[in-house]
Structure 1
């Protein structure tokens, strides 16, 4: 059994600030009181311990209170992605089969096919009494998140008390905890990188400064003015922050202790630019199935091991499948208390582990000192004339061009070579394939050179800003059929 997260935190530091949103803030006591009142309202509408509640809402204080209310009542929470299409939402709701669907009033029309209660309607209900649990079973499912669907149909991942607590504890062992920590959260709360910040907040007694969306100017203001000490981003967010800092000719405040960068390999150009702007970058590697981080670069290694995702966190184990020596690439496999015990719905019978190991589908290697380097998704691998080409490597080289903001690479069928790489770019100026190849000549082997170039207005990304290379492949098919 583990202690009830929020109830335990209130016993320890009730007056400490828990959440800031715009001009408003909440202490842990205030957050607990609001959550308990709303939990009573859930009880009034017939929800009880062990029920499953799905929530569709923007990232705002109402969502945070609702999540805690469900947990105080002993419910599983399914966090729905507000940026999905109506069809995708319909699939996830049908798959999850929640006892209750809660929606922000602005989204109610999107789930009209399903019975729902708005968050405003719930807040108006009388609050019934219920017995709070001081302790929680460690294997209780707390949250359910659907995988990002970068490679196929999303799966509903169970995340337990043990999963979340193990992850937050291991992260604290790596980064440390400061009494004045403030975590800037612009990641969506329906994503594990967002929710994990709020779980750390309760376990650490740490304030979270929440934004509903990534507001570039305000975020950079916070970083420069020293308003926050930690932040989580993905590559595309980092690049936008860097451009804004470069336009201002500014550096971030020394108060910023950590910027965790996850969601896939980070181009070396971004890392080098971040160092020049005073950003303490720590690359991290994790996934929905591991309740966030599994490996993270330690602060003292940030410069020396630039490009690495670090070593496995203290409570994590990683091996490279079928690799027997340093630098030998293979599938990354993970074991530990943070690994999901399984899935729900249509994937209930899908095993999350094989002999205790989660097979991630990601390709990586360890160097001679045991530092993990993530190469790419196995499903995105391009095999050209028998040679392996990793899109992330080609993208990293392309992004060194000063006029290119974003890049995406995928494989295109070729009669001679089987596949050849094709590049999509978002650029400040028109660019020809020949000029790009000339720029890349000293950076890539000839077989890795893009054989076609497409300039686009924006890259296809999911809600957590991960590049969807399968969409690039669909674009190629669409173009070839015209």
Structure 2
């Protein structure tokens, strides 16, 4: 059993600022009272304790109020990705067998073919009697369900328990510590594990969450420069935009800023080096939906010495490389710890999430002589050309070092001679041609790694968390 986070946090630091959004702010006690109001309003709409609801709402203070109301009722929350098609949403809603769907009022046209009860976000409101809520939560109770992006087959509904979220937030705290006035900048969507884990850290660590409905590079860099927040979580594309904005403004970040967690895939080394010159303490991290966020993190003091690594396992977590017998050998990354999902729901409910206690991540990587983890690529994204393994991220890293390239994505395409060949897609600025980019690659890559072609495009396919979806790159052809 674990004490109710919301009740206990409001008791410990009632008057501390907990949340800011659009120039408004709320203390922990104010959020506590709102969460009780939302819990009562949910009951009035027929939502019972321990039921399962789907949530289709944009990141906002109103969403956080709703999530905390659901927590009070110990409702299992299926967090729907706002970027999904109607068919993808229908699959997840049906697979999750939810009791109801809570939809933001202006988004109702996105979900029309479900027979499940629909509740408008505006209906979860109004004065209600203070409800009785549990003061203790079961550690193994499923708090959230998030569907994986589905690199192969249908997406899986991943269960994340109260204990999973506590284990993740605890390991993170042991790694990073706390300072006076700590605050997270949250531009990641709350339906994604990175965004939701920041809400958990806010409640469990007692720190402020500065929430954005979407990534606003100018507003974020303003906070970084003035030092009004201390931590942030980003993916590669966000880091690139922040670095470019700071360079354009001839500015650097405040020394109060403690850490920028960089995850969601390999970060190009060029971005890292430029970020350090601007005073950004980039902390590369590795995690996934099945691990309730972080599993490994590279400590700040090792950032330049081990550039490109995602660090070592956080306290209480374990990692190993399946099949590797010595340092440097690439294999599948396996993870063990209290943050690992107990399993899935729906179509994959009978599939175990672990083998002998280990989660097989589907990611390829290696450990160096000192035990630092390097992620090579998704196993499903691996390109095998003429018997040679080619990792798309390696080619992407090279392309991004060219000053005219803003973003890059690489996938494998079928080839009659070699089996597969890499194909590259880039977003550029200024006048640049494929021939020049190919020459750039020739200087830095082995011949078998050279892209078959380099296509200049306007956008690259990314999911709701801005992670590159390499499997969709071929559609650009």
Q: Do Structure 1 and Structure 2 share a fold, with TM-score over 0.5?
A: yes
Query: Distance between the aligned counterparts of 1:442 and 1:113, measured in 2?
Result: 53
Aligned 1:50-61 pairs, distance under 5 A: 50-61=50-61
* Superposed displacement of residue 430, structure 1: 4.1
Q: Which of 119, 122, 130 lines up with 1:120 in the alignment?
A: 122
Residues 36 and 130 in structure 2, CA contact (< 8 A), matched pair in contact too: no
**Equivalent residue number for residue 218 of structure 2:** 217
Residues 45 and 119 in structure 2, CA contact (< 8 A), matched pair in contact too: no
Query: Distance between the aligned counterparts of 2:402 and 2:280, measured in 1?
Result: 21
Q: Deviations over 1:284-337 (max 9, x none)?
A: 000000000000011221221111100000010111000011111100011110
* Superposed displacement of residue 56, structure 1: 0.6
List alignment gaps of at least 5 residues for structure 1: none
**Equivalent residue number for residue 454 of structure 1:** 455
* Superposed displacement of residue 32, structure 1: 0.5
Query: Distance between the aligned counterparts of 2:32 and 2:400, measured in 1?
Result: 46
Q: Deviations over 1:135-185 (max 9, x none)?
A: 111000001111123444211110001100000000000011112101000
Residues 151 and 470 in structure 1, CA contact (< 8 A), matched pair in contact too: no
Query: Using a 3 Å threshold, how does the CA distance of structure 1 residues 188 and 381 change in structure 2: closer, same or farther?
Result: same
Query: Distance between the aligned counterparts of 2:111 and 2:28, measured in 1?
Result: 33
Aligned 1:177-216 pairs, distance under 5 A: 177-216=178-217
**Equivalent residue number for residue 375 of structure 1:** 376
Query: Distance between the aligned counterparts of 1:212 and 1:149, measured in 2?
Result: 25
Aligned 1:370-449 pairs, distance under 5 A: 370-449=371-450
Residues 226 and 253 in structure 1, CA contact (< 8 A), matched pair in contact too: yes
Query: What SS does the corresponding residue of 1:55 show, helix, strand or coil?
Result: strand
Query: What SS does the corresponding residue of 1:106 show, helix, strand or coil?
Result: helix
Query: Distance between the aligned counterparts of 1:225 and 1:150, measured in 2?
Result: 40
Q: Deviations over 1:45-104 (max 9, x none)?
A: 222221012111000011101111011112111111111111111111111111121111
List alignment gaps of at least 5 residues for structure 2: none
* Superposed displacement of residue 128, structure 1: 4.6
**Equivalent residue number for residue 340 of structure 1:** 341
**Equivalent residue number for residue 68 of structure 1:** 68
**Equivalent residue number for residue 272 of structure 1:** 273
Aligned 1:21-420 pairs, distance under 5 A: 21-114=21-114, 115-124=117-126, 127-420=128-421
Query: What SS does the corresponding residue of 2:344 show, helix, strand or coil?
Result: coil
* Superposed displacement of residue 278, structure 1: 0.7
**Equivalent residue number for residue 473 of structure 2:** 472
* Superposed displacement of residue 42, structure 1: 1.1
**Equivalent residue number for residue 15 of structure 1:** 15
User: Structure 1 residue runs of 4+, over 4 Å off?
Assistant: none
Give the total of aligned pairs. Answer: 475
Query: What SS does the corresponding residue of 2:308 show, helix, strand or coil?
Result: coil
Residues 4 and 134 in structure 2, CA contact (< 8 A), matched pair in contact too: yes
- TM-score normalised to the size of structure 1? 0.97
Query: Distance between the aligned counterparts of 2:415 and 2:113, measured in 1?
Result: 44
Query: Distance between the aligned counterparts of 1:342 and 1:70, measured in 2?
Result: 21
Residues 286 and 293 in structure 1, CA contact (< 8 A), matched pair in contact too: yes
Query: Distance between the aligned counterparts of 1:109 and 1:37, measured in 2?
Result: 27
Query: Distance between the aligned counterparts of 1:179 and 1:88, measured in 2?
Result: 43
Q: Deviations over 1:324-361 (max 9, x none)?
A: 11111100011110000001111111211111111011
Residues 151 and 380 in structure 2, CA contact (< 8 A), matched pair in contact too: no
Query: What SS does the corresponding residue of 1:282 show, helix, strand or coil?
Result: strand
Residues 148 and 157 in structure 2, CA contact (< 8 A), matched pair in contact too: yes
- TM-score normalised to the size of structure 2? 0.98
Query: Distance between the aligned counterparts of 1:355 and 1:446, measured in 2?
Result: 41
Q: Deviations over 1:211-232 (max 9, x none)?
A: 0000111111111111110000
Query: Distance between the aligned counterparts of 2:110 and 2:286, measured in 1?
Result: 33
Query: Distance between the aligned counterparts of 1:43 and 1:127, measured in 2?
Result: 10
* Superposed displacement of residue 432, structure 1: 3.1
Query: Distance between the aligned counterparts of 1:152 and 1:234, measured in 2?
Result: 25
* Superposed displacement of residue 468, structure 1: 0.9
